[in-house]
């Protein structure tokens, strides 16, 4: 049986990746901890991926489609993220 390994970084340059899917990926890989500078040392293998995904989202590389996306963050997390000066795309539902 052949096992294939898929790393989400393969999606970073996908021209059809929409903003809602990019944000889903971002939060799936612990985006809250990334935004609040609480990323654990053990997560270093994903830090390059998260940095690139974060920058791509800020640079508006992904199209904002009509798909709704409710961010998986609490009111407290939203407050903390906003207080750090993070762009609103990371704490505003689509």
The pLDDT tens digits of the residues spanning 35-66 come to: 998 876 546 668 888 999 999 999 999 999 98
What are 14's two structure tokens? 């996908």
Domains of the chain by residue range: 15-90
- Percentage of the residues of the chain whose pLDDT score is greater than 90: 61
32 — pLDDT class (breaks 50, 70, 90) = very high
């Amino acid at each position: 049986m052949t096992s294939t390994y898929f790393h989400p970084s393969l999606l970073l340059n996908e021209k059809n990746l929409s903003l809602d899917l990019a944000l889903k990926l971002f939060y799936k890989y612990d985006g809250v901890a990334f935004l609040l500078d609480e990323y654990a040392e053990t997560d270093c293998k994903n830090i390059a991926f998260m940095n690139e995904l974060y920058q791509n989202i800020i640079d508006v590389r992904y199209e904002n489609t009509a798909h709704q996306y409710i961010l998986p963050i609490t009111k407290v997390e939203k407050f903390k993220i906003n207080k750090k000066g993070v762009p609103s795309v990371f704490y505003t539902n689509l």
